[in-house]
Chains A and B, each alone.
Chain A
Amino acid sequence: MPSKIITAARQSGRDVLFEDESKSLLAAAGIPVVESHIATTEQEAVESAERIGYPTVLKVRSAVYSHKSDTGGVHLNLTGPEAVRQAFLAITNRARQEDPHACVTVQRMAKQGLEVIIGATVDPQFGPVIMFGLGGVLTEILADHCFRLIPINQSEASAMVRSLRGSQLLQGYRNMPPADLGALESILTRVSDLMQNYPEIMELDLNPVTVYPDGALALDARVRLKN
């Protein structure tokens, strides 16, 4: 299944997979993701939103915009069909000036939790490496993340999760319940496996992954292939 997604992207001349493609690839590898549904019209967007339930998120889907939120391409917390319609128009009116094929993806607004980042890349010096870090604005400033050489096993994944300066946040602090570290470890080992099994992947970015007391979910994902 991941091979099919990779081949399809290649055939349409893209190195960077769309969010929905990236998520399908991750889901096929057993990584929990918030599903993204493609909508090319207002009506399709509303139908998708009705089906998956509110609140909803709309994101631009275009080969031109690789950083969706920088260009007003992400609308969060849409609570009804009218909001979805307006978001669809706002996104596509802007995006289609640059890319006539631009459309949107619709996904459920995930509930709040602790945000982390999981990534993997083929480093010019080390080859395939995996990264785990705390997400959110504060931790961007603190740059609290760690690297490991791929492959990693479950106990190495566990060491990664516990090695961050802010790992106390994940293990339960004051009135915050402990996060499901097992779910994070499982995503880490599956990302490591993906990089091993599909050497055509150059970079894989799950940002953010929201972790709850029970489970974890990749809200956004991006896969880049070797060119």
Chain B
Amino acid sequence: MDKKLFQAMHKLFNPRSVAVVGATDSPDRVGYNILESVLYGGFKGKIFPVHPRLDTLQGLKVYPTLEDVPEPVDVALVAVNQFATVETIAQCGRLGIKAAICLAGGYRETGADGLRLEEQLISLAREHGIALVGPNTLGLINTGADFYSTFYPLRLPKGRVSMLSQSGGLGLTIMHKAADEGLGINKWVGVGNRSTLEISDYLEYLAQDEETDVIGIFLEGTEQARNLVQAAARIAKNKPVVIYKAGRLAATEYAALTHTGTASGSYQMYRDILMNQFGVLMVDSVAELVAACKALSVSTLPAGGGLGIVTHTAGPSIALLDSATHQGISVPPLQQETINKIKDVLGQNPPVVLKNPLDTVGVGFAADMYSRVVNAVLEDPGIDLLVAIYCLHKNWRFPSSELVAAQQRSGKPVLAYYVSTWEGCRDERQILQQAGVPLYISPDEAAGAVSALVHYSNMRGREKHAE
């Protein structure tokens, strides 16, 4: 990405000052909420609300027009209607404001008139070199700069995963799910109509962004798919990218391809090309997207695809295996030496078959005993990563500190799958995830996490091999 665009986007995410055009005193309006969002998020820079008649808003001095703002503005937050937005961007151009976030809809998504209006917006942005987010978007967030420019006032846990979303509502779903999972977010962008900044532009920016370790994308479809694929493929070699593509419809594209030649944005094309040809991880739900991003952000990558499972209840391990059958994940048999070590812990004739997944049923509830089994399995040379399953219990504590120790001791990724509500293991989550052990409470999400880690481990392996 060229340096000029990178710098413009850097300013977009890290402004020293913002103007809020269309700020109002009515909590029903977008213009009120975007100002509150900036304040509530704890923005440290200067804030200049703009409204033709009001004097103060939420304790801030209000300026009648953008021209009246006495200091340089890094980013204009534009919360007026689609027509006034075009005028505001023209104003930004005259005033030398180089970045703008345009919330209003009413452009190409509404038809020919809207498209013409959007073309005006695009040509103004191009003419004046303005980095323009949207229009028709929720806005963007950079928790690293405490900058929240959506009209949904929020505070998110900070972290090193950044998200791009082609839908505001689904982007919010991802944010809330991430918060529920204890997954910190660094940047979040609702890309809107992508008039001047395409998904691949944001992706290129995040690739170079030192605060972002993992990139998650919700995609509906883009005419720039080729650019997106090429960017994502290149970036994913160094920084994991996870894509959730909507529109998993019936396979109608073959008919379209061979009979009309107007193959539409086909789900299968995205999946085959992104994942199978270029190795970018694709998932099929918000839950999987967040689970994968959490694993890739919290854990290290395994050296291979050999999965060990330790449980004290069979069902969850079977469900986990059901979900984890792709990505070349294997559940290798344990070596005799490992079995011997486990017998030393569980007794010479335990009431279970000693195999992988290892079920310690009836004898391995105690955290100490459970963790000795975990250590034995992790020592097995065929095992590259391990999922530890443990059920919430009134009298038996979760083996969290033991799992952290086991991971540190072995240097292999350990994931916890606790059979529990989030309420039941909130403190455990904090302890585990801070120490590099991602925690899940469903078999599908734990399996998605394993898949994500093995996928990117395989990809790194292939890259090394190719070198």
Chain A complexes with chain B: yes
CB within 8 Å of B: which residues of A? 117, 119, 121-127, 129, 131, 133, 143, 145-149, 152, 156, 159, 163, 202-203, 205, 207, 224
| Contact A205–B273 (Cβ < 8 Å) | no
- In the complex, given contacts A125-B221, A143-B251, A149-B277, what are 12 additional A-B residue pairs having Cβ atoms less than 8 angstroms apart? A119-B257, A121-B263, A122-B261, A123-B225, A123-B266, A126-B225, A126-B229, A126-B269, A149-B226, A156-B277, A159-B276, A224-B261
| Contact with B254, one of A133, A148, A149, A202 (Cβ below 8 angstroms) | A133
**Residues on B with beta carbons closer than 8 Å to the beta carbon of A205:** 258
Pick the 8 closest A-B CB pairs, nearest first: A125-B225, A143-B251, A147-B272, A203-B261, A127-B226, A126-B225, A147-B269, A125-B265
Closest to B258 in A: A205
Could you tell me if B269 and A123 are in contact, using CB atoms closer than 8 angstroms?
yes
26 A-B pairs, CB-CB below 8 angstroms? A119-B257, A121-B257, A124-B263, A124-B264, A125-B221, A125-B222, A125-B224, A125-B226, A126-B226, A126-B229, A129-B269, A131-B254, A133-B254, A143-B251, A145-B251, A145-B254, A146-B268, A147-B268, A148-B273, A149-B226, A149-B273, A156-B277, A163-B272, A203-B261, A207-B258, A224-B261
Q: Which residue of B lies closest to A67 (CB)?
A: B259
Report the minimum CB–CB distance from B443 to chain A (whole Å).
25
Say what secondary structure dominates the interface of chain A: strand
CA A220 – CA B223 in complex, angstroms? 32
Determine if A146 and B263 form an interchain contact, defined as CB atoms under 8 angstroms apart: no
- Does B26 interact with chain A (Cβ within 8 Å)? no
Does B262 touch A at the CB level, under 8 Å?
yes
Smallest distance from the beta carbon of B231 to chain A beta carbons, Å?
13
Residue of B nearest to A149 (CB): B273
User: Which residues from A are CB-within-8-Å of B277?
Assistant: 148-149, 152, 156, 159
- Which of A119, A129, A143, A145 interacts with B273 by CB under 8 Å? A129
Q: Among residues 213 to 250 in chain B, which have CB atoms less than 8 Å away from a CB atom of chain A?
A: 221-226, 229
> Are B261 and A121 closer than 8 Å at their CB atoms?
yes
For the complex, what is the distance from the CA of A133 to the CA of B255, rounded to whole Å? 12
Contact B258 A124 (CB under 8 A): no
Bound CA span A183–B21, Å: 64
Q: Which residues of A contact B254 (CB under 8 A)?
A: 131, 133, 143, 145
Q: How far is the CB of B277 from chain A (nearest CB, A)?
A: 5
- Binary A-proximity of B130-148 (CB < 8 A = 1, otherwise 0): 0000000000000000000
A174 to B276 CA separation, bound complex (whole angstroms): 28
Q: Within the assembled complex, what's the spacing in Å between the Cα atoms of A152 and B278? A: 11
Complex: how many Å from CA A58 to CA B347?
Answer: 78
* Bound: A211/B276 CA distance, A: 24
Q: In this complex, what residue of A is CB-closest to B226?
A: A127
Inter-chain contacts of B265 with A (CB < 8 A): 124-125
Distance (Å) between the CB of A133 and the closest chain B CB? 7
| Bound CA–CA A123/B256 (angstroms) | 10
When distances are taken between beta carbons in the complex, the residues of chain B under 8 Å from A117 are: 258
B223 and A202 contacting across the interface, CB-CB below 8 Å: no
Q: Which of A117, A126, A129, A224 is packed against the most chain B CB atoms within 10 Å?
A: A126
Q: Which of A124, A146, A224 contacts B223 (CB 8 A)?
A: A124
Once bound together, how far apart are the Cα atoms of A133 and B221, in whole Å? 24
What is the chain A residue whose CB lies nearest that of B260?
A203
A152 proximity list for chain B (CB < 8 A) = 277
A124 vs B222: C-alpha distance in the bound complex, in angstroms?
9
Kindly list chain B residues whose C-beta atoms are within 8 Å of the C-beta of A159.
Answer: 276-277
- Are A202 and B261 CB-contacts (below 8 A) given A124-B223, A143-B254, A147-B268? yes
- Chain B residues within an 8 Å CB radius of A131: 254, 257
Considering the complex, give the chain A residue whose CB is closest to the CB of B261.
A203
Which chain A residue has the least Cβ–Cβ distance from B272?
A147
**What separation, in Å, do the CA atoms of A146 and B253 have in the docked complex?**
11
Q: Which residue of A lies closest to B256 (CB)?
A: A121
Q: With the chains together, A146 CA to B251 CA distance in Å? A: 11
Contact A149 B263 (CB under 8 A): no
Chain B residues whose C-beta falls within 8 Å of the C-beta of A122 in the assembled complex = 261
Q: Are B226 and A146 neighbours in the complex by a CB distance under 8 Å?
A: no
- The CA of A145 and the CA of B251, in the complex, are separated in Å by 10
Q: Closest residue of chain A to B233, judged by CB?
A: A149
| Distance of A157 from chain B, by nearest CB (Å) | 11
* B276 and A163 contact, CB distance less than 8 A: yes
A179 vs chain B, min Cβ distance (A): 21
| A159 closest partner in B (C-beta) | B276
B172 nearest CB across to chain A (Å): 26
Q: What's the minimum C-beta distance from B409 to chain A, rounded to whole angstroms?
A: 38
Q: Which residues of A contact B221 (CB under 8 A)?
A: 125
Which of chain B's residues has its CB closest to A66's CB?
A: B259
Distance (whole angstroms) from the CB of B150 to the closest CB of chain A: 28
The smallest beta-carbon distance between B375 and chain A, in angstroms, is: 39
In whole angstroms, how far apart are the Cα atoms of A202 and B229 in the complex?
21
Q: How far is the CA of A133 from the CA of B269 in the complex (A)?
A: 13
Interface centre among A143, A145, A147, A202 (most CB of B within 10 A): A147
Q: Find the residue from A122, A145, A224 having the highest chain B CB count within 10 A.
A: A145
Minimum C-beta distance from A181 to chain B (A)? 17
A141 and B262 CA atoms in complex are apart in Å by 21
Give the residues in chain A near B276, CB-CB below 8 Å. Answer: 146, 148, 159, 163
Q: How far is the CB of A67 from chain B (nearest CB, A)?
A: 8
A residues less than 8 Å from B224 (CB atoms): 125
Residues on A with beta carbons closer than 8 Å to the beta carbon of B222: 125
CA distance A148 to B269 in the complex (A): 7
Known: A148-B273, A149-B277. A125 touches B258 (CB 8 A): no
Residues on B with C-beta less than 8 A from A121 are 257, 261, 263
**Bound state CA distance, A147 and B253, in angstroms?**
11
